[in-house]
Chain A
Amino acid sequence: KAGVTQTPRYLIKTRGQQVTLSCSPISGHRSVSWYQQTPGQGLQFLFEYFSETQRNKGNFPGRFSGRQFSNSRSEMNVSTLELGDSALYLCASSLRDMNTEAFFGQGTRLTVV
């Protein structure tokens, strides 16, 4: 079966702009989580969605938001982009929660200039 798909793979944006990233989980998976990966900070948890509801949120500013649709696909949005938002954004899906195996997408590489 198809793995976790993230689009786009690469993105270049200017400071102050906003961006929307998309994640399609493995069929049947209802939990989708988002992570920010940077060389200095490792993998930082952003938020987790299940059945269109945000169940958990990490320590990121309100500029970072997300949502999940009825088909479990998820999007995350970052508004008023800053240079420090440049990172690889990974989403992961699992059957019901993050206490079961999580499968990661290839990520979206965001560069803010």
Chain B
Amino acid sequence: GENVEQHPSTLSVQEGDSAVIKCTYSDSASNYFPWYKQELGKRPQLIIDIRSNVGEKKDQRIAVTLNKTAKHFSLHITETQPEDSAVYFCAASKLDGSSNTGKLIFGQGTTLQVKP
């Protein structure tokens, strides 16, 4: 069935360093890949997303890359700050041809700690 593997499960970096989180998906028909950030006790919030017709997308300090051949995508955070500390989830979905919908399959999450 559909599956998304996310690594690492925890990541600790010094403020100002870069952080990279990687995800691999199983369904080659997946075509939408969002990343969510969940701060402690809060709801997940979308921080960036990418579609299968694009290889890379950047938004200020955050970037996502997609390799469709290898079926993996990564989140890159540069110049990390303490407020970047949170749990990050990758997800994948696809449009279902029969019902024109998709369901988000999430990775297990990465707890990022940025040390001041």
Which A positions have Cβ atoms within 8 angstroms of B?
Answer: 4, 31, 33, 35, 41-45, 48, 50, 55-56, 58-59, 90, 92, 97-99, 101-107
CA distance A83 to B114 in the complex (A): 35
CA distance A31 to B96 in the complex (A): 14
Neighbouring B residues of A58 by C-beta, 8 Å: 103
Chain A: interface secondary structure? Answer: strand
Q: Which of B31, B43, B106 contacts A105 (CB 8 A)?
A: B43
Distance to closest chain B CB from A60 (angstroms): 13
Distance to closest chain B CB from A69 (angstroms): 18
Neighbouring A residues of B42 by C-beta, 8 Å: 106
A interface footprint on B47-80 (CB within 8 Å = 1, 0 otherwise): 0010000000000000000000000000000000
Instruction: Say yes or no: A99-B95 contact (C-beta < 8 A), given A45-B104, A58-B103.
Output: yes
Instruction: Say yes or no: A45-B103 contact (C-beta < 8 A), given A90-B44, A101-B34, A101-B49.
Output: yes
